[in-house]
Structure 1
Amino acid sequence: MKRTGWLVGVVVAAAGCAASGPLARGPAAASKPVEAPRPVLMRSAEIDARMRAAWKEKGLEPAERVDDAGFFRRVNLDLTGRVPKAEAVDAFLADKAEDKRAKTIDALLASPEYAEHFTNYWDRVLMGRNVRKHVDHAEFRRWLHEQLEKNVGYDVWVRELVSATGLTSAPRMAEQPVNGAANWYLRYMDNPPDLAGTTSRLFLGVRIQCAQCHDHKTEKWTMSDFQGFTASFLRTRAQLFYTDDKDKKGLRAYDVEDLERSPEGRLTRPRRAAKRMDIAEYKSAAPRALDGTDLLSGGSKPRTALAEWITRKDNPWFARAIVNRVWGVMLGRGFSEPVDDLRESNPPAMKDLLDTLASDFVTSGYDLKHLLRLIANAESYQLAARPKGQRGDGALWSYFHMDQLGPDELLDSLVRATGLPREKVERQFTFLFDVDEEDDHDDEFDGTITQALWLMNGKVMQRSIQIAPGSALAQVLSKPGGDEGKIRALYMRTLSRPPTDAETAHWVGFLKPPRPGPPPAGEGADTVRRRYEDLLWVLLNSSEFLFNH
């Protein structure tokens, strides 16, 4: 690359000298601008080669390639957060092109559903499941959706999020622009230590909050490290700007700003949080990053300097943390588990591959779609969920790791499969799937007994299987044809695959059990319709529907 640039410079310089010399004839020709060479990015085949070598070394035989129906459902769930439409499954299965999987990945990443799904994901990760009332959640989600829809570089929007200032909401009479990202600071405005611990954990994969109270003999980070990192957030204030209970339904607008500091490094104005908790040890600490970088030098305000440091290309944690997280989202488990814990005492599997992917992510311009595309096209992502000739925990991803659908994925998949209005289902989900913990940011979901009972017997589930006007079951039964076609249509809506011959035969027998002579009294069309409702209930409550596999 350097030689090419040097040679171009010599040629351009020589051409300029010749044009201006005594032998020049006519006006000098305009030089054509030299385009910067495009960065060479990693390909999925490199992941495949490294995974194959690791499997061979460990004596593991990878699972078979997942069939087309399984892949199509899986990639739709992972990239759009919902099961695909039945007609889309049919079209994909009928497509004979060899590159149809790669084209599907590209199409899903370009779809509006991609931005909506990952808005839901990052909203859960950043805000948790119990958003405070003074946070304008709608403005925050609007800002987050814009970043993902425009595919803004991950480093850019993380930098803006960590250092965001401005109005958190749009008062009726205000002309100032709103910065939805400032609502993330608003969520933590009374607890700077929690903001510091969350920032480090989410964006660096470093859990420093264990050092909030005392040093640990076996861990790297000390109380001094935690206090210096937390001090970066002490010079920020969220001041009430406007409130209108009638127009904003009780929601208030705050103005988030970074304060000037005195020559001694103390706050020039009192901070609300100081009245609610003892932060004396943090006020006396010098704001600094985890590598010791002084965040007061250079003229920047500490929070801005911290955001710049976090997203620097030479930061040893930032790119590795997001690559580990996205790998875990797509493949069920990260290189390190939990995905936000990259400490030295929790070393990652296949560290060289993690480092290579992190370097490639930086080269791509922190392009999240590039990273997702790279992983989705890899062989390890497209393996079946059943191991081949081995048992174990799948630590090296020799088969696909099954995961229960998260609340948002389950909600959207139920809506698509049953045709119920989303708002009716969402009200029930808000009650059952939200949690009480103030700082719950865990994006994993294991489910509870109450939730399982709701899926089996809840009012929404009972309504979803009824043959009511506009329902999925009513639409299926209104189509011409026999039971075999209707059974297939229900399988495609719920499980995103056609039934096997054995399954079809079983359900045909269930719907109209063969028996000699006339049917028993009271058994007729209504009985068959109720059995169709039972069939749909079974499909919606099956593990095959409730899991990503």
Structure 2
Amino acid sequence: KLFRDWVRQQVADNVPYDQFVRTILTSSGSNKEHPAASYFKILREPTELMENTTHLFLATRFNCNKCHDHPFERWTQDQYYQMSAWFAQVGLDRDPASGDATIGGSAVEGAKPLFELVSDRKEGEVKHDRTGKVTPPAFPYTATVSAPATESRRAQLAAWITSPDNTYFARSFANRLWGYLNGVGLIEPLDDIRAGNPPSNPELLDWLTQQLVDHRFDFRHVVRLICRSRTYQLSLASNRWNDDDKTNFSHATARRLPAETLLDTIYRVTGTTPNIPGVAPGTRAGQLPDSGVGLKDGFLTNLGRPVRESACECERSSDLQLGPIMALISGPTVGDAISGKDNALAKLTTDHSDDRELVNEIFMRVLNRPVSEKESGEALSMLGEISAEHTALVHARDQRAAEIAPERKVKADARNAAIAQAKAALEKTQADLAPVLAAKQKEHDDRIAALEKAIAGFDAALPDKVTAFEAAVPASQT
């Protein structure tokens, strides 16, 4: 949560993207006081840190060249271990402020302290898997490094990654911004920049990249450029010339809301207060710091919320298969929101007796726009169908009830007669057994009384028997 809150504050403060990344990669000290240091708590091995860092900030998948040179791209196996070496001297030690508090842990790996001290050590190397030799750190391609060689390895790596002339860094972020805002990146997937996966519009991506660099990585500047563009402002409407266009951005791309946003929207539309287990009532799904927090019916998981185990964009799914569809149509989360005591939709139906007004109010609440004449007509037709179908179902139910009424009476009479017969048989059996049970009970009581009398006689005679026994035994044996 501390790390998440820190990231949100960095975005709110419009911290330049390069500065934001440098802070993460060079953060030292306790992750309690320096939340950015939490980046090193989960990915603890140099190779894992390298794979995640290059994937996240350079949109380059170095894990493909771990065991051998990449068969189709420029990256080599040597470069994999050279890049990993930049993280070989990261130190992690328990922060006393953590106390006994731990986080994580499994049958394979033990839990780690909640707070740890991140530092740069003087020792620590990476061995090449094929040669078995120590591999010194090196960069896979040239970019200006502003940090001197005397700085820590992390500082040198951060300077190289965030360098203005490191085109992978600026290019990957510009592509992500375009993709997040328009639904489709200029390079897809967003985190897979390589020669074999060229951009759909290289000139546009080059221009956005240069804008980001020229304005000192001010991401709001690029967001503003994109949002003010004609491309971003196009509607979903298409024509026969561009109906199947998925490359030239000639119309907006329809996309489903992310799982968290969709859940928050459901609560907002219905007016019901969110009540997600493990967090305070009213907490929005978009505010959840941990992917382990969710609803019992798995709504967020069904709708594609990622487990956050990697930097891959593929973790989040926007598919609508049977599970997600059923969760939206008849799942308990949606049902509870609709049936909540604060349900605003129910209040709308009470406040608006005119169906046309009601339909318009629902459109305003859900879509934030008035209903069109065509949509209104279709909605009113559906409402009419619902009323007619309800009337037909009630009639069919009553008709069927009348048809089976005689048969039900016959079966009910037979059932009642069988119950009465069984009850009479039970009462007769109980009456027949009563004398037998009474005799057995008397026999039981008499035996207990006799045994108790025998025990009392034994206890009364015991002192005299003990005295006689002791008198008969020679003194040498007592």
TM-score by length of structure 2 reads: 0.68
Deviation per CA, 1:97-136: give whole Å up to 9, x if none. xxxxxxxxxxxxxxxxxxxxxxxxxxxxxxxxxxxxxxxx
Structure 1 position 430, deviation (Å) = 4.8
Larger helix share, 1 or 2: 2
- Could you tell me which residue of structure 2 aligns to residue 53 of structure 1? none
Residue identity (%): 27
Give the root-mean-square deviation of aligned CA atoms.
3.2
- Could you tell me which residue of structure 2 aligns to residue 318 of structure 1? 169
Equivalent residues of 1:204, 1:317 under 8 A apart: yes
- Could you tell me which residue of structure 2 aligns to residue 227 of structure 1? 81
- Could you tell me which residue of structure 2 aligns to residue 141 of structure 1? 4
Aligned with 2:115: secondary structure?
A: strand
TM-score by length of structure 1 reads: 0.60
Counterpart of 1:255 in structure 2: which amino acid?
L
Q: 2:191 aligns with which of 331, 340, 343?
A: 340
- CA distance in 2 between counterparts of 1:497 and 1:289 reads 53
Residues paired across the two proteins, number = 362
Structure 1 position 179, deviation (Å) = 1.0
Structure 1 position 291, deviation (Å) = 1.4
Q: 1:404 aligns with which of 249, 253, 256?
A: 256
Equivalent residues of 2:93, 2:118 under 8 A apart: yes
RCO higher in 1 or 2 (8 Å CA, sep ≥ 6)? 1
Structure 1 position 440, deviation (Å) = 6.1
Counterpart of 2:275 in structure 1: which amino acid?
E
Indicate how the Cα distance of structure 1 residues 294 and 485 shifts in structure 2: closer, same or farther if over 3 A, else same. Answer: closer
Counterpart of 1:310 in structure 2: which amino acid?
I
Structure 1 position 155, deviation (Å) = 0.7
Aligned with 2:21: secondary structure?
A: helix
Counterpart of 1:140 in structure 2: which amino acid?
F
Question: Superposition pairs for residues 34-433 of structure 1, below 5 Å?
Answer: 138-169=1-32, 178-189=33-44, 191-242=45-96, 243-245=98-100, 252-261=114-123, 266=124, 284-291=134-141, 298-390=149-241, 391-424=243-276, 426=285, 427-428=294-295, 429-430=299-300, 432=302, 433=304
- CA distance in 1 between counterparts of 2:190 and 2:77 reads 23
Q: 2:327 aligns with which of 425, 435, 454?
A: 454
Deviation per CA, 1:406-455: give whole Å up to 9, x if none. 12221222222122223338532455445568436326422343222111
Does 2:334 align with 1:483? no
Equivalent residues of 1:227, 1:282 under 8 A apart: no
Equivalent residues of 1:380, 1:397 under 8 A apart: yes
- CA distance in 1 between counterparts of 2:369 and 2:231 reads 22
Equivalent residues of 1:227, 1:281 under 8 A apart: no
Deviation per CA, 1:305-351: give whole Å up to 9, x if none. 10111111121211111111111111122121111222122221221
Unaligned ranges ≥5, structure 1: 1-137, 170-177, 268-273, 524-549
Deviation per CA, 1:225-278: give whole Å up to 9, x if none. 1111111011002212133457999961111111123xxxx46xxxxxx9xx99
Equivalent residues of 2:55, 2:311 under 8 A apart: no
Indicate how the Cα distance of structure 1 residues 224 and 473 shifts in structure 2: closer, same or farther if over 3 A, else same. Answer: same
Equivalent residues of 2:306, 2:316 under 8 A apart: no
- CA distance in 2 between counterparts of 1:401 and 1:349 reads 15
- CA distance in 1 between counterparts of 2:387 and 2:261 reads 42
- Could you tell me which residue of structure 2 aligns to residue 493 of structure 1? 365
Indicate how the Cα distance of structure 1 residues 144 and 438 shifts in structure 2: closer, same or farther if over 3 A, else same. Answer: closer
Aligned with 1:239: secondary structure?
A: strand
> Higher Cα Rg: structure 1 or 2?
2
Aligned with 2:118: secondary structure?
A: strand
Bigger Cα displacement from structure 2, 290-299 vs 453-462: 290-299
Aligned with 1:257: secondary structure?
A: strand
Equivalent residues of 2:30, 2:117 under 8 A apart: yes
- CA distance in 1 between counterparts of 2:181 and 2:305 reads 23
